[in-house]
Structure 1
């Protein structure tokens, strides 16, 4: 996995204020900013209404649920595409979304080619001009069009650790008792038992349909739910209608299971460009990436790879040491982690307590100051929901040592980097597991970077001045 060559979430901090505040389900647009020019968002009125039971209707304030078992009843699977197969596009509900999108505000980028395994083929894309801000090729996070906000990819405050997990909810296995030991609610219970820790969870729609009780547990325990598509394809390889379908069926599944309509999504492998961003934005969601990568998906485990456990350990050791010795003092962390399999859950069980002693661990939304992550207005998350203030972060402030403006090439080397291979690996659709979570870049950049204090100052002033 590679880091970004561009800095700042400034536009997002400014532009998403009004849309994040507008948690109503009304059809009236809610401008992101009255002056920024960012395309207005509105609640996805094309989603069905559901009668949902067994979930909170506002932020839970009681003790978290740590029951060891969950109901295995699925959603109505006949109403959805087949789990872990490409999202079906031939459906009236998809047509309704297509009609609701302003296609003049969707850049006309040609979908990328994919090889037989679903990997992105980069071809002759002009990476110097990077006309569509294609993250997989250039690590671009600031759209080239002025009506979209910048991606969220780091926490503004140094010392914050925006905890997040991809690919959930981790379903139990029908065949393997050992794997079942790590299926949900194991991770969610572990978080609850460790300072009632909150996280941002990027859900695969297929996994929500087959295990909605896990999504309910996560919401009821105060985690933030986001979309990670229906079947985990490289999204720039999808047609416009396929992009809509991958996002729509996941939004629908999350809402049917939990009653909330999320405002956030993460592209599989980080594979996103302005065409895909624009569709997701008009479907009510902000794009979230990362600035560190644990590469935990590639450890030996169900659907994993062959990256040694000790290598991933080394990444965490380096990040903790960097924070302790003061070299990690510019921005906070959004580190890519997974609830993909037994190995990834074991890794977070090992490292979360240490991270909590070193960083202020909180959800991405908490570190960004986003208190209304859903379109339902009754959901308001408190600041610092985990209450995880640590000695290791007591003196952490945004760095004020640099006076340079944010640069588009502020990457710096980190132990969490991965080799550039020229392709983005696709999801293993048949098994419901992820072949890889990294999208390759031609730069070979590493998985950590720094941002100038000028950019950070703007972010923190905006974050202080507005409540999401």
Structure 2
């Protein structure tokens, strides 16, 4: 099966030659304090004694290395070497399955296929880097290794406006020297605990592609591997390896594993240097969440107070009209369903002004009655005074 090939425009700007180690850039070198970088030898061969935790030689890893997903039901499926003309078909398949993975990209491929990387990010997949030329970093000087990483980071930034915080050393070969450089550049090293070695298929005619599917079948059924989650390694760089992705995904999911981007499976809620999510949308900060939560709480409190006021006004109006049927209707409206809540709020908006108007009329009547009563009492007092004066006058006449 041949994966469809996409023709994509190259990344604008001036960039190093593809697939060759990039030139040393002094501005990049200045980002790293070389005095604290490990003195591990620059050598592609394994040393007799592993004093610098050379992972590919002794299997040594440091606590800072991301090797697997901590949750035993999580699976970080990762793809190396792209983006390539074969990546688009993988994305098509992953979209149909609503599955997100992590792509570790090569700077030269980002330069050649920026629009494929744009689709990777827009689809919500994770992005980490390898290097510009995908050459062995352990075989390069400090300055050269720094340029390999920084040129790739800059290419990703130019293509999709994000800066990855994860890197994977090409071919899984790294030591404390590469760890030190990566850390100072703000990069976390992502290794893997399950490797398909599918990249051998590009140059080894004896490599049997069925081994890839068989590996996954064995991994998900091996009880010794169910104590943690996993990070597996495949490649989207070649057609023969890209077509394996739709074959292995069902094996993983049918074994009740949840395929996730690596940043998600390790609980990193800030996947890039920029304040964005995996899909490039703005990242919602905790302060904003708390503000939203407080606003929601305040709105809820205000609504509760308003409902209490509305119910009080409704009951007052119902009592003044002595209508039990209205009370029954009011009680039936005080349910928790959205429609009834909306109806209750609508009715309250109508009833409250009516209640206020009725109250004003009643107060006016009371005032009028009080005035009349007061006038009558005053009139009676005047009459009483008149009678008293007449009696006094009669008494004086008798004298």
Report the TM-score range of the alignment, normalised by the length of the smaller protein: 0.5 to 0.7
2:261 to 339, 349, 363: 363
For residue 169 of structure 1, what is the aligned residue in structure 2? 83
Q: Secondary structure at the match of 2:109?
A: helix
Q: Secondary structure at the match of 2:251?
A: helix
| Aligned residues of 1:372 and 1:381 also touching (Cα < 8 A) | no
| 1:378 Cα offset (Å) | 3.1
Bigger shift: residues 157-166 or 285-294? 157-166
Unaligned runs of 5+ in 2: 281-399
Are 1:150 and 2:64 an aligned pair? yes
Q: Distance in 2 between matches of 1:275 and 1:169?
A: 27
| 1:380 Cα offset (Å) | 6.4
For residue 319 of structure 2, what is the aligned residue in structure 1? none
1:345 to 225, 242, 253: 242
Are 1:292 and 2:194 an aligned pair? yes
1:136 to 48, 56, 62: 56
For residue 308 of structure 1, what is the aligned residue in structure 2? 208
Change (3 A) 1:188 1:304: farther
Are 1:88 and 2:23 an aligned pair? yes
1:241-279 Cα deviation digits (max 9, x unpaired): 110111011001100000001101000111111111111
Are 1:189 and 2:92 an aligned pair? yes
Q: Secondary structure at the match of 2:199?
A: helix
| Aligned residues of 2:79 and 2:235 also touching (Cα < 8 A) | yes
1:121 to 35, 38, 45: 45
Q: Secondary structure at the match of 1:111?
A: coil
1:106 to 18, 37, 41: 37
Q: Distance in 2 between matches of 1:111 and 1:277?
A: 14
| Aligned residues of 1:371 and 1:380 also touching (Cα < 8 A) | no
Higher relative contact order (CA 8 A, sep 6+): 1
| 1:76 Cα offset (Å) | 2.6
Q: Distance in 1 between matches of 2:274 and 2:204?
A: 36
| Aligned residues of 1:290 and 1:336 also touching (Cα < 8 A) | yes
| 1:304 Cα offset (Å) | 6.2
For residue 171 of structure 2, what is the aligned residue in structure 1? 269
Q: Secondary structure at the match of 1:217?
A: helix
Q: Secondary structure at the match of 1:155?
A: coil
Structure with greater helix share of residues: 2
For residue 225 of structure 1, what is the aligned residue in structure 2? 127
Q: Distance in 2 between matches of 1:274 and 1:342?
A: 34
Q: Distance in 2 between matches of 1:305 and 1:375?
A: 42
Q: Distance in 1 between matches of 2:96 and 2:56?
A: 37
Structure-to-structure mapping, 1:2-81, within 5 angstroms: 72-76=8-12, 79-81=14-16
Q: Secondary structure at the match of 1:201?
A: strand
Change (3 A) 1:380 1:298: closer
Unaligned runs of 5+ in 1: 1-67, 113-119, 143-148, 172-182, 383-468
| 1:311 Cα offset (Å) | 2.3
